[in-house]
Amino acid sequence: MADLVTQVGTLSLATPVIAASGTYGYGTEFDGLVDWPGVGGVSVKGISVQPCDGLPATRMVETPAGMLNAIGLQNVGVEAFLNDKLPELAKLGPRIIVNCWGNTPEEFSEVVERLDPAGDLIDAIELNLACPNKKEWGRIFACDPAAVKAIVGPARARTKLPLWVKLSPSVTDITEPATVAAGEGADALCVINTVRGMAIDVERRRPVLSNITGGLSGPAIKPIGLLMVYEASRAVDIPVVGGGGIVSGSDAVEYLMAGACAVQVGTANLYDPAAPARISREIASVLDRLGEARVSGVVGALETSS
């Protein structure tokens, strides 16, 4: 079978498949349900300085070809994560990417600073600038180049760990925030997060979600993700991790061909906890069929000339 080892900058992954933040808990919940050697990495639930209860129910609803969520970044807080969650996850084997957030640039910097001393266990930090469900932000930070600059630069100064930045599809031009993040020292970009949407209960004449709006994920958003990975990867000189609607190895290879060097799998985990390892095996099968010995053979290999 093809060699699945891939690189996200200086970070080597055993496979190009990462379990996306918000869909795999703190990783440990899935022990016994997944073949860990087939998982390149786990991006944990978004961590903040203080614990966060998230939004009230209803927080999730199924939609055609996907789902809407408005969880609100519920998490145990950085101290409980470092003391209780991280040591247990580190025993399982996959690379550990710590997704984190704050309500202000200063809070982003503080949580990054608190995570940095655990660099012997943490492989990368992922700044979540793309959540569509935080009214406290006033807007999606990743849609405002000035906010991207204000968050990424100071966070970069507070850690020696690889710093990834998660971007939002709710922009007209993904290359603008991508370029700003890269210029402020990001080591990789994660493209994309969920797409804003809503669902309505006709009988009650009310929104289904308590937050009114939520983030749409699943196969419905894959065409959006592919386009934005294609555009972002050509605009910056740092690696791009692609995601959005991946449910199979073929989906993942599409992202790799568009320019991603690794992928994040999200919604598929909610109905198939073994999805990351399964998709890794399927990627290997696709590479074998294409006659490629390693992942790098398809990264950015999309041919667009007639």
- Structure confidence at residue 210 (pLDDT): 97
Q: Tell me: the pLDDT tens digits for 206-228?
A: 999 999 999 999 999 999 999 99
pLDDT of residue 306 exceeding 80? no
Q: How confident is the model at residue 35 (pLDDT cuts 50, 70, 90)?
A: very high
With contact defined as beta carbons under 8 Å apart, do 164 and 185 qualify?
Answer: no
The confidence band for 305, taking pLDDT boundaries of 50, 70 and 90, is confident
Angle at 25 between CA 157 and CA 68, to 5 degrees: 100
Please give the positions annotated as active site.
Answer: 131
Task: Please give the single-letter amino acid code of residue 306.
Answer: S
Paired tokens of 203: 């009988």
As a whole number of angstroms, the distance between CA 45 and CA 111 comes to 14
Q: How far apart are CA 141 and CA 132, in angstroms?
A: 9
- What confidence tier does 64 reach under pLDDT thresholds 50, 70, 90? very high
Distance CA 88, CA 160 (A): 23
pLDDT digits (tens, 9 = 90+) for 97-120: 999 999 999 999 999 999 999 999
pTM value?
0.97
- Locate the domains of the chain by residue range: 6-297
For residue 48, how far is the Cα from the chain centroid? 16
| Confidence band of 284 (pLDDT split at 50, 70, 90) | very high
Query: CA-CA distance, 73 to 54, in Å (whole number)?
Result: 5
Q: Indicate if the alpha-carbon torsion angle 169, 171, 175, 180 is positive or negative.
A: negative
Cα–Cα distance for residue pair 132/216, rounded to 1 Å: 10
**Which CATH code for domain 6-297?**
3.20.20.70
